Chains A and B, each alone.
Chain A
Amino acid sequence: MLEIKNLHAAVDGKEILSGLNLKVNAGEVHAIMGPNGSGKSTLSKVLAGHPDYTVSSGHIEFEVNLRMKNVLDMAPEERARNGIFLAFQYPVEIPGVPNSAFLKASYNAICKHQGAKEATDEMFGRILIEKCKLLNMDEKFIDREVNVAFSGGEKKRNEILQMAVIQPRLAFLDETDSGLDVDSLRIVAEGVNKLRKKDNAIVLVTHYQRILNYIVPDFVHVLYKGRIIKTGGKELALQIEANGYDQILKEFQN
C-alpha cells in the first residue's frame, strides 16, 4: 500500500532523512521508534506534504485504485483525499471554526474526490454522533472550536475523531501517545483499535513502548540518522524499553 524508497529530505537546508526505506501493506500495524532527532516527525511531515520540507531524492508511492501513485506529485489535500491521514503531534488550534464545520468540510472534500455523495448537515450530524459513540467521546466535542482550549489529551482524541470520520486507508500517528496520562492513552489506543481493519494500515511513530501494549504492532522499526537501521517484531520494542537504543546503535555502527 505504501512504499518509501531511498528517501532524502531536508528542512531549512539540513538533511534529516538520508535514504529511508519503508514498506507497509494493508492490514498491518507498524511502529517507528528512535531517539530524539532521528527524523520521526520529519517523516510524518514529508508524507503529509508540509511545504517547509523538501525532498531531494527518493520516492514515496501509495496505492490508489490498485495502482501505485507518486505521492510526492500530490498536493497535501490530494494525499488526504486519496486516503493518507496524519495525526499531528501538535494539533493546531483553529479559532472560530467549529469542529463540526471543519469535519464536514473535510468529509465532503474527500467524498467529492472519491465520487461519493456529499453529506447534508443532517446526515453528517448523525455520522458525527455515531463516531463519538464509537470512540466514547462526549458529543460536546462536536460544537467546540477546533482544538481551541482543548487539553493535551483532548487534542489527541480529536485527531482520532477526525480519523474515524475520514476513515483513511493509511493512518500515520505522530507521537499521538506523547503527553497522555495512562487513562487518556488507553482511551486513545482503544479508539485506534476500533478503527483497525484488514484493508487499512496504521503507522505509529512513538518514543515509548507503552502504547504498543494496547495497539500491538506487526513490525517495529528503529529510525536513526534518517534511516531505518533495524526492523523486528513487537519484541524489539520491549528490548528498547529495557535496554535503550545504545545496543542497537552499536550494532549499527559496527
Chain B
Amino acid sequence: MAEIVKENLTDREYKYGFETIIETDQFPMGLSEDVVNKIADKRNDPQFVRDFRLKAYRHWLTLKEPTWADVRYPKIDFQGIRYYSAPKSKPDGATGPASLADIDPELIETFNKLGIPLGEQKRLTGVAIDVVFDSVSVGTSHQEELAAAGVIFCSLTEAIQKHPEIVEKHLGKIVPYKDNYYAALNSAVFTDGSFVYIPKGVRCPLDLSTYFRINAKETGQFERTLIVAEAGSYVSYLEGCTAPMRDENQLHAAVVELITFDDAEIKYSTVQNWYSGDKDGRGGIYNFVTKRGLCQGTNSKISWTQVESGSSITWKYPSVILQGDNSSGEFYSVALTNHRMQADTGTKMVHIGKNTSSRIISKGISCDQSRNTYRGQVKILPSAESARNYSQCDSMLVGDQCTANTHPYLEVKNKSAIVEHEATTSKISGDHIFYMKSRGVDEEGAVSLLLHGFCKEVFKTLPLEFSIEAVKLLEMKLEGSVG
C-alpha cells in the first residue's frame, strides 16, 4: 500500500478513483420489506439473522434522519439506492467466491492497482487480509496460519453460516438495531463485512486487515464487522477504504461492534480514504458509521485509532463502553478535510465500572473550504468509582476559509472522577511554509514537519505498515492545500 502512495506523491489527484468494469449481480434500486427478505434469501441467512433484519427494517421506518451533526447535504433518497451488488463469479453467486480461481481476473487487477495483492504468494507477510468489494467479501488470506492459533477471521457471511452460535450471541448486542437511524438501516440490509474471533488466552499471531472497496454505481455499502476477543486475548485489526470517483454521492453506512472479555485487548485502526468529491464538492461518499466497543471484562481494553482523510461527509463516533472494572478505552484520531468536505467526528466514552479510564486525542486539520467538527462525550455514571478521563482536542486551520469546531460534552455523576480536557487551535498559512522554505526545507519537507508535529501522538499508535501509508496520504492532501 505504501508503495502505491509514494509513487503518486507528485500527483495530487485521487488515485483510487478508477472504476472496475465487472459483471455484477445486482438488485434494482429501492428498499422495502421485500428487498430485505430478498437479501436474506440471497445470502441464505439463518432465521435469527432474517428476524434481526426485519425488526431493524420496521424500526428504521419509524425513525427520522438525525440532523444534529454539523454537516449539510441534500436529502438522501433511500429509494434511489441499490442495496445489493456483488461481483459475479460462481454460477450461483450466493456468498462470494470460494477460492482465488473463482475471482474475476478484472477484480484481481483492481486490487493489484490498489496495492492489495490477492494472490497468496504476493501477500504482505504478517498481515492477513480480508477484502470486501461492494457488498461481499472476496477473499481472506492466511487462513491456515490463523486456524492453527484458533483464530477465526472470515467474512461475516461465512461466519453466519459456519459459526452461527458466536454471531447470534453478539450481533446487535453492542450496537443494537435501535441505536440510531443508520445503524437500523445497516442492520436491515447489511451484506458483508469482517468477522474476527480470538479464543481465550490467544494473542493473534498476525495483524488482521480488511480492505473495503465501493465500486458499483448507485449502490450503498452497508458492511458490518464483529470482533470478539475472549478473556486474555489480543488482536490488532486494520481497515482501509477507497472508492471510484463519481459525480453522484454514494452512501456508506457501516456498523462495527467490538467486545472484549477479562484482560482482553482489541486495537482497531482505520485509514479511511473514500472518495471525497472534487474541489467544488461534487460527488464523494457519505460515510455514516456507527462503531462501538464494549469492554465487558475487567482489565479489558479497546483502542480506536483513525486516520480520516476521505469521504465528502463523515459522521462517525467510535466509542467505548467501559463496563468491566479497571477497563480502559482510547480514541486517537486525525481527521483531515479539504476542498468542501465536511466531517463531524469524535468519540464517546461511557464509564460504568470502577477505576475505568479513557483517553481521547483528537487532531482535526481543516483546509480550503471544508468543515471539521470534533464532537465527543465523556459520561461517568454513578457506579464508576475513581474513573479517569483525559481529552485533548487540537484543531489546525489551513488558510482562512475553513471551519473547525469542538464540542466536548461532559457528564459526570460520580464525585471521585478526574476528568481533564485540553484544546488548542492553530492556524497555518503560506507564511509558515515560506518560513521553512527560507531555511532550505522544501514544501514536501515543510508539510511533513507540520503534520508530524501536529499528529505525533496519533501517528505513534498506528501499526507500522499502516503508518507509512496513512502519513503519506495525509501529506499528499495537505500539500495540495498549503502550497
Question: Chain A: residues with CB nearer than 8 A to chain B?
Answer: 48-51, 75-77, 79-81, 85-86, 88, 91-92, 94-98, 101-102, 105-106, 109-110, 113, 145, 162, 166
Contacts and interface: CB of A to CB of B under 8 A. Distances in A.
B435 A106 contact: no
Contact of B453 (A51, A80, A101): A101
B449 A77 contact: no
Nearest to A88: B435
Nearest to A50: B434
Interface stretch (B15-23, B439-447, B465-473): B439-447
B49 interface: no
Given A95-B396, A109-B445, A77 B453 contact: no
A101 B450 CA distance: 10
Given A105-B449, A109-B445, A94 B437 contact: no
B437 A75 contact: yes
Interface in B400-440: 424, 426, 430-432, 434-440
Contact of A109 (B426, B434, B441): B441
B454 A80 contact: no
B58 interface: no
Given A101-B449, A102-B441, 13 more contacts: A50-B434, A77-B437, A77-B441, A94-B435, A94-B449, A94-B450, A96-B426, A96-B453, A97-B452, A101-B452, A105-B449, A109-B441, A113-B440
Contacts of B438: 48-49, 76-77, 79-80, 85-86, 88
Interface in B446-480: 449-450, 452-456
Nearest to A78: B440
B454 to A, nearest CB: 4
Q: Which of A79, A91, A102, A166 has the most CB of B within 10 A?
A: A102
B432 A92 contact: yes
Nearest to A75: B437
A94 B431 CA distance: 10
7 contacts: A49-B437, A49-B438, A50-B434, A80-B438, A92-B432, A96-B456, A105-B441
A178 to B, nearest CB: 18
B435 A97 contact: no
Contacts of B453: 94-98, 101, 145
B449 A97 contact: yes
A98 B449 CA distance: 9
Contacts of A98: 453
B430 A102 contact: no
Q: Which of B436, B438, B453, B455 has the most CB of A within 10 A?
A: B438
Q: Which of A75, A79, A85, A96 has the most CB of B within 10 A?
A: A96
B440 A109 contact: yes
Given A80-B440, A109-B442, A94 B432 contact: yes
B450 A97 contact: yes
B436 A94 contact: yes
Contact of B440 (A51, A77, A145): A77
Nearest to B457: A96
A104 to B, nearest CB: 10
Contacts of A49: 437-438
Nearest to B445: A105
B439 A92 contact: no
A148 to B, nearest CB: 9
A48 B130 CA distance: 52
Closest 9 A-B residue pairs measured CB to CB?
A: A96-B453, A97-B453, A80-B440, A106-B439, A95-B426, A76-B437, A109-B440, A96-B454, A92-B435
Contacts of A101: 449, 452-453
B455 to A, nearest CB: 8
Contacts of A92: 431-432, 435
A77 B455 CA distance: 25
A77 B483 CA distance: 14
A94 B430 CA distance: 12
A102 B436 CA distance: 8
A32 to B, nearest CB: 18
A49 B440 CA distance: 12
